[in-house]
Amino acid sequence: MSEQHHDVYENMTDKQKNRTIWSVITASSLGTLIEWYDFYIFGSLAVVLATKFFPADNPTAAFLSTLATFAAGFVVRPFGALFFGRLGDIIGRKYTFLVTLLIMGFSTFLIGCIPGYETIGFMAPVLVLILRLLQGLALGGEYGGAATYVAEYSQPHRRGYWTSWIQTTATAGLFISLIVILITKNTLSAEEFDSWGWRVPFWISILMVGVSYFIRKNMKESPLFAKAKSEGKTSKNPLKESFGNKFNFKFVLLALFGAAMGQGVIWYTGQFYAMSFLQKVMNINSMQVDYLMATALLMGTPFFVFFGWLSDKIGRKAIMMTGMLVAILAYRPIYDAMYKSVNIEAKTVADNGIKETRVAAIHKSIATDSLITFHKETIFTDGTLIKKDSIVHWSAAGPVMKDGKAEEPKVSTAITLNNDTRWYLVFLVFIQVIFVTMVYGPIAAFLVEMFPVRIRYTSMSLPYHIGNGVFGGLLPAVATYLVTSGKDAGHATWYLEGLWYPIGVAAVCLVIGLIYLKNKNNNIHD
């Protein structure tokens, strides 16, 4: 790519530039959306994957192991940011995020091909972990490239608006992953989905990646990078310039601890942790949770663009810091309201709230022993349905003993909400998504504007992926551990214990951001 491309772009009319940037946004967003879909399909199916790739004798440990594997992909994202960021600052934005797209697509497809734990034992979680790490490396290089690419086509006074379209792709990727799962579940029987249907969302990704690759292949390099390269002004060692230069490194640290760290935990609290909380803490039917989350995400997505646009008017910092502050103050009341919205004890007492109860026992023989499942369905007058299965291991001599005592039954609960409660929870999750859009909508433009073209890909990618990949990515596992520990310790509000992690991280980030960050950077580095 030569300086000629830059000159042609600069000589375009505003109307021509708008047409060009829409094609750039479409191509960049489609690829980035697919990478987010690939990355988050694992988290969306975490409850199912726990039963496929990990030992089944301890469901809680299996679920935590699945979340840890999910988190591993986040932890390596900064390494992907360093490797692909360096590549993008040396050879160009376009070719780098073509490579990341292919790595992500094939890794996702192969996860859907791995035999389960019952077939290949511990090789199953090992292979899943390896592919999950490849996904993390690829995503570490993708986002910075796409955000930088769009920003370098944007006019400075509209950069927040144009880059905010890239910001919609993370939530849209999660939304589409939920929709694909729902369509697959509705197409297949429960037995078929549990047997092999859960693999379908992983396989579908390869088709989407193929389409995106051919669209991106025909894109041109960003005009600012093309000009810098033709003038010999690109960096020969972006890593050294970004992190060895004290002036640049100061901005890397500010980007991480004053913005990306807080943004990361708010993004994952409002979307992934909300979904995990509904499923694992509140025991709501998984398909209903998917519908609930998809609705809230769809309602909230336009606000990414709104807050990106608003940041061009009033500044990036003001919006992001406000988003962090209201999230810190509102999380515990919101999650307390979520948990109490399904108050089974109150339903049971009020107005003779139980409408009907059905109980059945199902026997499944295992050699000379039997598994007895006591299935109980309780229907309340307001339409709430609770299904509870208690599985007891029974031998000819009676209950199977362990350490001198009868084995504890394995109990699983699934609650189907009535319509009013469902929409109430949609509203509470939607509020959290608004917090996400406030901190995430402007952040791409904010990070891009902190660094010069020659080291932009590398410098913005690392703080973003540490903030999101490490601080944000560890949130589901850390929060689940805190909730479990709080419950075991008998805390009255054990279900809120997991929120201390995002609240604490966001509070530290808020203080640093308020003190050290500037509200507007859109006149620098161009």
Q: 523 falls in which pLDDT band (50, 70, 90)? A: very low
Question: Tokens representing 232?
Answer: 């010999």
- Asked whether 108 and 38 are in contact (CB, 8 A), the reply is yes
Q: What is the pLDDT of residue 367?
A: 53
Amino acid in the structure at residue 430? F
Q: Is the dihedral of CA 275, 280, 286, 292 positive or negative?
A: negative
**How is domain 3-342+419-516 classified at the CATH fold level?**
Growth Hormone; Chain: A; (1.20.1250)
- Asked whether 179 and 54 are in contact (CB, 8 A), the reply is no
Half-sphere exposure of residue 106: CA atoms within 13 angstroms, side-chain side = 10
Determine the Cα angle at 141 with ends 230 and 305, to 5°. Answer: 90
What are the distances in angstroms from CA 385 to CA 132, 279, 377?
A: 37, 15, 7
d(CA 125, CA 102) in angstroms, rounded, equals: 23
Residue linked to tokens 């025991």: 283
Angle, helix 46-53 to helix 59-75, in steps of 10 degrees: 110
Interacting residues of 424 by C-beta distance below 8 A, sequence separation 6+ = 341
d(CA 96, CA 393) in angstroms, rounded, equals: 55
Three-state secondary structure string covering 253-299: HHHHHHHHHHHHHHHHHHHHHHHHHHHHHCCECHHHHHHHHHHHHHH
- Asked whether 465 and 77 are in contact (CB, 8 A), the reply is yes
Q: What is the pLDDT of residue 317?
A: 96
**Which of 3, 140, 154, 132 is CA-nearest to residue 84?**
140
pLDDT tens for 207-256 read 888 888 888 888 888 888 888 888 888 889 999 999 999 999 999 999 99
d(CA 522, CA 506) in angstroms, rounded, equals: 25
Say whether 358 sits in a helix, a strand or coil: strand
pLDDT tens for 441-474 read 999 999 999 999 899 999 999 999 999 888 998 8
- Asked whether 380 and 398 are in contact (CB, 8 A), the reply is no
- Asked whether 93 and 457 are in contact (CB, 8 A), the reply is yes
- Asked whether 347 and 384 are in contact (CB, 8 A), the reply is yes
**How are beta strands 410-416 and 405-406 bridged, if at all?**
unpaired
Interacting residues of 245 by C-beta distance below 8 A, sequence separation 6+ = none
Amino acid in the structure at residue 213? Y
Q: Is the dihedral of CA 392, 395, 400, 404 positive or negative?
A: positive
Q: What is the pLDDT of residue 42?
A: 78
pLDDT tens for 28-70 read 888 788 877 877 787 778 778 888 888 776 676 677 677 777 7
pLDDT tens for 139-148 read 888 888 888 8
- Asked whether 415 and 342 are in contact (CB, 8 A), the reply is yes
pLDDT tens for 254-309 read 999 999 999 999 999 998 899 989 988 898 988 899 899 989 999 999 999 999 99
- Asked whether 509 and 259 are in contact (CB, 8 A), the reply is yes
Three-state secondary structure string covering 45-106: CHHHHHHHHCCCCCHHHHHHHHHHHHHHHHHCHHHHHHHHHHHHHHCCHHHHHHHHHHHHHH
- Phi, psi (rounded to 5 degrees) for 393: -90, 115
Phi-psi map region of 220: left, alpha, beta (phi>0 left; psi -120 to 50 alpha) = beta
- Domain regions of the chain by residue span: 3-342+419-516, 346-416
d(CA 133, CA 74) in angstroms, rounded, equals: 8
Q: Which of the residue ranges 152-156, 398-402, 513-517 has the most confident prediction, judged by mean pLDDT?
A: 513-517
d(CA 379, CA 354) in angstroms, rounded, equals: 6
Q: What average pLDDT score do residues 156-184 get? A: 89
pLDDT tens for 469-519 read 889 988 988 998 999 999 888 888 999 999 999 999 999 999 999 999 987
Chain mean position to CA 105: 17
- Greater confidence, 404 or 113? 113
Q: 1 falls in which pLDDT band (50, 70, 90)? A: very low
d(CA 393, CA 10) in angstroms, rounded, equals: 74
Residue linked to tokens 């943004």: 263
d(CA 8, CA 426) in angstroms, rounded, equals: 48
Q: Give the Cβ contact number of residue 173 at 10 Å.
A: 21
Q: 526 falls in which pLDDT band (50, 70, 90)? A: low
Interacting residues of 93 by C-beta distance below 8 A, sequence separation 6+ = 145, 148, 149, 152, 221, 222, 225, 457
Q: What is the pLDDT of residue 74?
A: 79
Q: 436 falls in which pLDDT band (50, 70, 90)? A: very high
